[in-house]
Amino acid sequence: MSSIDALESWTSNLKLRSWIKQKIELCNPDKVHLCTGSKDEHQHLINTLISTKTIVALDPDLRPGSYLARSDPEDVARVEASTFICSESKDDAGPTNNWEDPRIMREKLSALFKGCMKGRTMYVIPYCMGPLDSKFSHIGIEITDSPYVVCSMRIMARVSTKVLDVLGDEGDFIAGTHSVGVPLKDGKADVSWPCNPKKRHIVHFPTTKSIWSYGSGYGGNALLGKKCFALRIASVMAKEQGWLAEHMLILGLTNPEGEKKYFAAAFPSACGKTNLAMMNATLDGWKVECVGDDIAWMHFQEDGKLYAINPENGFFGVAPGTSFTSNPNAMYSLRKNTIFTNVALTDDQDIWWEGMDGKRPDHLVDWLSQDWSPSLGSKAAHSNARFAAPANQCPIIDPNWENPKGVPIEGIIFGGRRAHNVPLVYESLDWQHGVFLGASISSETTAAAEGSVGKLRHDPFAMLPFCGYHMGDYFKHWFEIGKKQGLSLPKIFCVNWFRKDCKGDFLWPGFGENSRVLKWIFESVQGQDVKEKSPVGFIPRLNSLDVSGLNISEKHLKNLFEIDAQEWTHELGELKNFFTLFKDRLPQEISQELESLEKRLAN
Ligand code: GTP
Ligand code: SPV
Ligand code: MN
């Protein structure tokens, strides 16, 4: 529906109507488009994006219904320095978030958004995070002036007028207002990827549960259902309502006897969630199925078990490194109806990136729209180039991926990108120790966020950039769960695929071979006698990790599990120092666990 006159037939929700009217008043768009999520609408927007050269169509035989977008080189990743949690008091945002007084921020935003859509169309997107028929799902409305965002949201979330039916007259929604921040004054010509990097603001108001995003059109900055809503705002809702909103993949694992268990795993951005979530297990008879690759909303239900839904509808995956060798199921997922951003274009109008299978092409058009040949030595695709592909195109999508109840989680896995010290896999001693392990995750930074790459930083629960409130209170929320009566708590594990040898090569083959680690985790959850105690937690007993058929020496295996007391004492010091950040909001359980670890290391 392309006119504001249609507002009354589009929604009966008075709150929504009045919110949209306010935003029109503020942003002053030339046109308003109330989205329906239909195919025709999608095609119309695709045509618009082709005409503005924001996207190019890929060869319809090679890549049906798929497009390549190239962003502004200044707008290629999440911007953590410009991301704010504007709680009432600074203390409620905590030491790991940027904060600004909500009153001052509202004034800033009013100034930024005033007239920001001049010369543009304002799109209003109704979307649902989670299956429409699940009581754990939540509705969002995103206002944006980017048709690229509308087309991407249609893949990543459930965008449809059915959402408005569920919302009804009285329902509530998470309000997100987004603008690329480039008004078109007096018929001024547009650029292919409008953005305003100097004025970027990604702002969350946890009190009113609203989101404002200005100046970026890329990924998590602009597709507001994803990180802004499903993690930052949802983590606040989860804390208030007693559930969990986490940066976790969800997978089902079936053993050769046909027994199936579900696991959730938190790794920081670009640390292997998508790859693990849809892996082809190399171990005979073992099968992985994918429920989600980035976000899990989890609730304890009447039977005391923890159930997870994937609030998303698509994968916004890292392109470089994705291949039929490393992740065939991702390659099948993106064979059609996919929007690629910042990958390279081949001469036959298909996509290419570093790490793809087969021969490297001799000529490409790179992500900067320049002619590219191998002799240039530059990367043809940006390191944070991504694909947005519908989840139902994944060949191993789990039959329960849209089950409104969710899937029962029996194990939680934490991980990071650690070149040194951290063993391939270990298990927590109990829930409290497991929560401590989650809180203690550090990882090398990646291209998923702007800034330096490869720098080791603390990233508790892989939620450092995504926790919408004080991280100390977040730890407490997790500890409290362990104290409730009558819950069957999942077991907690840590993994590290990224340990390196002295030459700098990965010690572990990773990808499909990670099924060996999943098998060990599965057997431990079953209660099999596969583990023994180490100072950091339970590690696999000798010969209990299945390395059959892997060409891996005893020494190599030893290196993968080595726990160097001196290095770990250093690690402990680092952790102690990190946790002082949280001052009086640091749960005493963390101090207890630090002490226990110190004792175990000393023995
Ligand atoms: P976000 O979408 O940013 O949250 O990332 P993600 O956690 O889903 O990471 P993804 O699975 O896309 O992997 C990111 C990068 O890590 C890719 O370049 C992968 O090739 C690489 N990677 C994934 N799994 C493994 C592994 O087991 N071993 C090694 N060495 N690399 C891996
Ligand atoms: C991440 O950075 O963890 C992502 C990509 O999943 S984005 O949606 O851009 O946040
Ligand atoms: Mn992510």
Give per-residue pLDDT as tens, 226-267: 999 999 999 999 999 999 999 999 999 999 999 999 999 999
Of residues 9, 3, 74, the one with CA closest to residue 32: 3
From the DSSP assignment, how many helices (H) and strands (E) are in the chain? Answer: 17, 30
Q: Which residues of 86-125 are buried (b: 16+ CB within 10 A; e: fewer)?
A: bbeeeebbbebbebbebeebbebbeebbeebbbbbbbbbb
Q: Is pLDDT above 60 for 583?
A: yes
Residue 23 CA to residue 160 CA, distance in Å, equals 21
Most ligand 1 atoms within 8 A of CB, residue of 275, 294, 496, 560 to mutate: 275
pLDDT in tens, 168-197: 999 999 999 999 999 998 878 899 999 999
Residues 512-537 have a mean pLDDT of 98
**pTM (two decimals):** 0.98
Position 334 scores a pLDDT of: 98
Confidence of residue 150 (pLDDT cuts 50, 70, 90): very high
> Which pLDDT score, from 0 to 100, does residue 2 have?
57
- The closest alpha carbon to 494, from 510, 517, 473, belongs to 517
Band (pLDDT 50/70/90 cuts) for residue 1 is: low
CA distances from 444 to 107, 267, 271 (A): 36, 11, 9
Q: What are the C-alpha distances in Å from 550 to residues 39, 79, 151, 522, 535?
A: 48, 41, 44, 20, 28
Give the pLDDT of residue 42: 98
Average pLDDT across the chain, whole number: 97
456 Cα–ligand 2 center, Å:
18
Answer yes or no: is pLDDT of 319 > 60: yes
For 166, the enclosing helix (H) or strand (E) is helix 161-167
Q: What is the torsion angle, in degrees rounded to the nearest 10, for the CA atoms of residue 451, residue 453, residue 456 and residue 458?
A: 50
Ligand nearest to the CA of 272: 1
Ligand 2: which atom is nearest the Cα of residue 247? 3
Q: Which residues line ligand 2 (CB under 6 A)?
A: 78, 219-220, 226-227, 269, 294, 316, 448
By annotation, the residues acting in catalysis are 271
The pLDDT value given to residue 287: 98
For residues 579 and 568, what is the distance between their CA atoms, to the nearest angstrom?
Answer: 16
* CA triple 142-40-26, angle to 5 deg: 30
The pLDDT, as a whole number, for residue 448 is 95
Cα(529) to centroid of ligand 3, in Å? 34
Q: What is the mean pLDDT of residues 262-289?
A: 98
pLDDT digits over 195-223, tens only? 999 999 999 999 999 999 999 999 999 99
Using CB distances shorter than 6 Å, the residues near ligand 1 are 267, 269-275, 293-294, 317-318, 320-321, 326, 448, 497-498, 506, 510-511, 514
pLDDT at 465 over 70: yes
Contact 248, 224 (CB under 8 A): no
Angle (CA) 93 150 47, round 5°: 155
